[in-house]
Amino acid sequence: MSAADARFSQRKEPVQARSRLTVKAIIEATAQVLVAIGYERATTDTIAARAGVSIGTLYQYFPNKESLVTALIKNHVDEIMRTVEAALTEAADAPLESALQGLIHAGVEAHRADPALHKVLFEQVPRNKLLGKHLDTSGKLQAMIEAFLCRRAPGLPRARTRVVALVLETTVEALTHRAVVDAPDWLRSREIEKEALMLLRPYLLEAVT
Amino acid sequence: MSAADARFSQRKEPVQARSRLTVKAIIEATAQVLVAIGYERATTDTIAARAGVSIGTLYQYFPNKESLVTALIKNHVDEIMRTVEAALTEAADAPLESALQGLIHAGVEAHRADPALHKVLFEQVPRNKLLGKHLDTSGKLQAMIEAFLCRRAPGLPRARTRVVALVLETTVEALTHRAVVDAPDWLRSREIEKEALMLLRPYLLEAVT
Amino acid sequence: MSAADARFSQRKEPVQARSRLTVKAIIEATAQVLVAIGYERATTDTIAARAGVSIGTLYQYFPNKESLVTALIKNHVDEIMRTVEAALTEAADAPLESALQGLIHAGVEAHRADPALHKVLFEQVPRNKLLGKHLDTSGKLQAMIEAFLCRRAPGLPRARTRVVALVLETTVEALTHRAVVDAPDWLRSREIEKEALMLLRPYLLEAVT
Amino acid sequence: MSAADARFSQRKEPVQARSRLTVKAIIEATAQVLVAIGYERATTDTIAARAGVSIGTLYQYFPNKESLVTALIKNHVDEIMRTVEAALTEAADAPLESALQGLIHAGVEAHRADPALHKVLFEQVPRNKLLGKHLDTSGKLQAMIEAFLCRRAPGLPRARTRVVALVLETTVEALTHRAVVDAPDWLRSREIEKEALMLLRPYLLEAVT
DNA sequence: GATGAATGAGTCTTCATTCAT
DNA sequence: TATGAATGAAGACTCATTCAT
């Protein structure tokens, strides 16, 4: 871990069980406070209080406010990644169409976990500095999809593959995000998956031809 | 304008030519400062200094920091609206396919105006309170597209029309936005328009059948 | 007029009729604004607006905010003085008891003119600096009463005279002021005058014996 | 304590001994600064500096400037109340005349404690909003005297009792206050008590008959 | 390790006053 | 003279962070 990164990661690795619980409580409290009152109004004091620890204890494990959010984002993003990765792995040898279906399903699932947190994280956390970097699911997801396509459509020029991956990732993410924010019912009912498939299947099939 | 709204609009209508210039300079400075150092680090002092006026002058026309950003957003959003609206009007009687082409083109054009500002506005301005409302281009654009589809595909059930409009709006916006942020060249070259058409044409044609 | 005093008096004597009207309007507006929103929240802008003149014009006649209040106080205090003085003059040769009655009546009358203004002037205007001096009705009234007593009870030692004058002035002022603030009905009905007479007559008669 | 009142009371109960000292120091500093430079010119920065703490510490215990003065006033008013209450309790069964003497003495004593603070508190603190309410000794004292009279002169109609109590309270308060401001020697020598008795004894005796 | 008291740089905002037109 | 745009010193208050106990 580089010195620069140290500013945004945890201050010390908690080795004892109690410490690990404390850290977990603080991250959980961060999530709750963010969801409850938004990023701007969230203060380290509020978070410490919510976690049931003193402000001093909070700073024993996290060097600054940003690191709290970073940790939260990491958890959230990692989970999304795992979900999508699992879907792509499973679809490794399936027909392209059902692979797409799996990808869409994974995207939707990823958002159904904690929509409120997702919303606040992606809408209110400022994308400057490192926070933005950590939030960049898109880039990583795109890369995963690109790799998948490389294997499944080896004939496609690399530049095309990249564009198709970008389109897939962007579209799935946008539709699910929009559903989270503006049409939660649509998300819950999974109608959204049908619609996304209707949109992306023809595109994908034509693209890989 | 209601009393509540007064908190977010201008404080005093500039009547003399001099003051109208001042207001313009302040809004312009707000844009520059936001782009240069981001929403969070932008202070009213910085903005005033950048505009070449005293802090007192700034507050003579804008009741608080938020109102500055609101004014900026209004300008930006209005321009996007005008662009899209013009495209839809022009395509009123054109074949559906070229209407779609027009819509995509308008969406791309809207983002080409001031990509840096667009980025900071949509990524860093917190979506809580009124600021979010003003930023809500999506809702308005979706409504415009929905109205257009109603006329062009009267047979479609209303619920379907709404969904299709949502998908069109979300997709065009997402692709362009993504291009602004991650692939400016793609945006400049207009390759993006071809790709979007490739994605949306089959979907739209099937949907309206 | 000394240089120091110049800071708190009017900037220039208005010689033309129009100017005199303007000055009057400004003082009147000061009174209205003070009564309406209190001393602390009253701003020179508000006062100018209320007077229907620009802030620049206001400063053409009054060098600063304090001078506005000073002028207002002067008017108010002068009127009180005139009222009391008239009462004492009229009672110059009357029996002591009816002189007291006249004094009390004058005191009450003085407060009945504009109770709201009186209240705000005496409760909210800070008594530091010169403003306090101008508000000092007590001292002047006490002196007037003392002079009156000197003539009517020449045998009384001067020190006693002074104390009696102080008690008279203080008591009448306090009762009327209290009535203005806490018991306006009592003031309007003039019951207060009877009560004050009941309190002060025995005292005065015994004192001058 | 209601949420609304929270704005004017302390923010956080000091639990450690250290912080209790801090709070005391801040209140004491408030008194000193008010006496030294007056209410209007007193700033929270000045007060914090005077107390030897940082501005942040001040705001940890007091939510705003007003609450500082409120705390001060509460202390001061409570002490006055206690003094007068003790006097009335002690005089519960004494002859009316010595009860009056006790009341006057208590009134004078109450002002001898910290005349300078009393002066600034009652002359410079604006009587609007809650500050006024807290300053309202008169109402409470009047009620105490009224209750006392009810017991000692049960035959008196209630309306008369109220008026007599008002007159007693107003007069004692006015004379002592006047002494504090304009004639400190008179206050110190206690001559004032004799004079007040001379004024109020005949009135009280006649009133309760 | 935990606590919470203390810190103070940094922001927003007001308003009396000046000055160009 | 009148106007109102412009000024900027000053003040209230916040909150991330440190440190003594």
Helix (H, G, I), strand (E, B) or coil at B21: helix
B134 CB neighbour count, 10 Å cutoff: 21
Q: Amino acid identity of C177?
A: H
For the domain made up of D5-63, the CATH class stated in words is mainly alpha
CB A81 within 8 A of CB A73: no
Cα(first)–Cα(last) distance of chain D, in Å? Answer: 44
Greater confidence (B16 vs B176) lies with: B176
In chain A, ranges of CATH 1.10.10.60 domains: 3-63
Q: Which residue is nearest to nucleotide E17 (CA to C1')?
A: C64
Average pLDDT, integer, range B120-137: 76
In this structure, what DSSP letter does residue D7 have?
A: G
Q: Does C126 lie at the interface with D, CB-CB under 8 angstroms?
A: yes
3-state secondary structure of B190: coil
Please choose, from the candidates B195, B170, B193, the residue with its C-alpha nearest in 3D space to the C-alpha of residue B105: B193
- Statement: the CB of D15 is under 7 Å from strand E: yes
The Cα–Cα gap between B172 and B156 comes to 22
Residue B205 CB neighbours (<10 A):
13
Under 8 Å between Cβ of A84 and A144? yes
Q: Which of residues 3-32 of B touch strand E (CB under 7 A)?
A: 18
Give the class (CATH, top level) of C73-208.
Answer: mainly alpha
Structure tokens at B39: 């929403």
* Residue (of D121, D146, D140) closest to D70 by Cα position: D121
Q: At what angle do helices C17-41 and C65-90 cross, to 10 degrees?
A: 100
Q: Which two tokens stand for residue C203?
A: 């005292």
Buried b (16+ CB within 10 A) or exposed e, C10-23: beeebeeeeeeebb
**Strand E lies under 7 A from the Cβ of residue C45:** yes
Q: Which pLDDT band, with edges at 50, 70 and 90, does C64 fall under?
A: very high
Answer whether A203 sits within 8 Å of B198, measured CB to CB: yes
- What's the CA C112/C1' E3 distance, rounded, in angstroms? 61
Which nucleotide has the shortest C1'-to-CA distance from B22?
F5
Residues of chain D in contact with residue C170, where contact means CB-CB under 8 angstroms, are 174-175, 178
Q: What is the DSSP letter of D91?
A: T
Higher pLDDT, residue C132 or C59: C59
**Given a cut of 50, is residue A182 above it in pLDDT?**
yes
What is the helix (H) or strand (E) element at residue C127, kind and residue range?
A: none
Element (H, E) at C141: helix C137-152
Mutate to test the interface with C, among D160, D170, D197 (most CBs of C within 10 A): D170
- Please state which of the ranges C113-117, D39-43, D151-155 shows the lowest mean pLDDT: C113-117
Choose among A39, A139, A171: nearest Cβ to B126.
Answer: A39
Please give the structure tokens belonging to residue B11: 């404080």
Residue C4 has pLDDT above 50, yes or no: no
Percent of chain D beyond pLDDT 90?
Answer: 64
Q: Which of A12-26, B184-198, D151-165 has the lowest mean pLDDT?
A: A12-26
Q: Is B20 on the interface with A (CB under 8 A)?
A: no
Q: Do residue C123 and residue D126 have CB atoms under 8 angstroms apart?
A: yes
B positions 63-102 inside 8 Å of A (CB):
none
Residues A175, A192 contacting (CB under 8 angstroms): yes
Is the pLDDT at D12 greater than 80? The verdict is: no
Who wins on pLDDT, D68 or A1?
Answer: D68
State pLDDT tens for residues D105-131. Answer: 999 998 888 888 988 888 888 877 667
Residue C1 reports pLDDT greater than 70: no
d(CA A87, CA A141): 12
Supply the pLDDT for residue C130: 62
Q: Which part of chain B is CATH 1.10.357? A: 73-208
The confidence score (pLDDT) of residue D86 equals 94
Give chain D's mean pLDDT: 88
Contact C180, C109 (CB under 8 A): no
From the candidate CATH numbers 1.10.357, 1.10.238, 1.10.10, 1.10.12, the one assigned to the domain spanning A72-208: 1.10.357
- Quick one: average pLDDT of B12-20? 71
Amino acid (1-letter code) at residue C123: E
Every domain range in chain A assigned CATH 1.10.357: 72-208
When the candidates are 3.40.50.300, 3.90.1330.10, 1.10.579.10, 1.10.10.60, the CATH number that belongs to B3-63 is 1.10.10.60
Check pLDDT > 50 for residue B4: no
Is the minimum distance from the CB of C77 to strand F below 7 Å? no
Instruction: Find the distance separating the first CA and the last CA of chain C, reported in whole Å.
Output: 44
The Å distance, CA of B120 to C1' of E11, is 21
